[in-house]
Chain A
Amino acid sequence: DTGVSQNPRHKITKRGQNVTFRCDPISEHNRLYWYRQTLGQGPEFLTYFQNEAQLEKSRLLSDRFSAERPKGSFSTLEIQRTEQGDSAMYLCASSLRAGLHHEQYFGPGTRLTVT
């Protein structure tokens, strides 16, 4: 499968615990994005990387959230001291920077449930 992959697909955690999600983009894509989607809503932008550089973070990304993309390949999103409001689908997308090329391809997401 050459698409975007995300692990784990589901995560149930207790409030206050830390969680980490992984995203593997399409291999030749140099841009990687994280979005969050709550039930009945469209995805909301969290942050994005060009290669290993994190270029923008949304105000939605509180200081409990951190994202990395070492060596410009896979990315991790960590949430510290989880809260019930963090329960959502966390989506990763990747795209190829080529001129005005914007097309973002999404992974299947990680469903986080905080109890």
Chain B
Amino acid sequence: QQQVKQSPQSLIVQKGGISIINCAYENTAFDYFPWYQQFPGKGPALLIAIRPDVSEKKEGRFTISFNKSAKQFSLHIMDSQPGDSATYFCAASMTNDYKLSFGAGTTVTVRA
């Protein structure tokens, strides 16, 4: 039973474009939502994270939008670059139960 559902499975964007990845969750006890970036053959790298007390968090070209009532959150990659081509995972966890529940991943390809 996947606790975090992620879409799309893959996307292709032109250099300079915006990549948008969406995630939805059911467990309202989740209170921490990170995004990880993974390149082939490497471990996931923490990209950006948000807690439900804010609706948006921006770090450089990466922005998380969070909608608590809809139980959804999304990652926006602005001005996408070929080096952003990777698989992105959303995840969620809760206080006192720190294990991460991951989405299935989105493979992003940025065309030059």
Contacts and interface: CB of A to CB of B under 8 A. Distances in A.
B95 A100 contact: yes
Interface in A48-65: 48, 56, 58
Contacts, number: 63
Contact of A106 (B32, B44, B93, B97): B44
Contacts of A107: 43
A48 B98 contact: yes
Contact of B105 (A40, A44, A56, A100): A40
Contacts of A58: 99
B105 A102 contact: no
B52 to A, nearest CB: 12
A106 B49 contact: no
Interface string A86-104: 0000010101000010111
A43 B89 CA distance: 9
A45 B100 contact: yes
B46 A103 contact: yes
Interface of B: 6, 31-32, 34, 36, 41-46, 49, 89, 91, 93, 95, 97-105
Pick the 9 closest A-B CB pairs, nearest first.
Answer: A42-B102, A106-B43, A45-B99, A102-B32, A108-B43, A106-B44, A109-B43, A42-B89, A43-B102
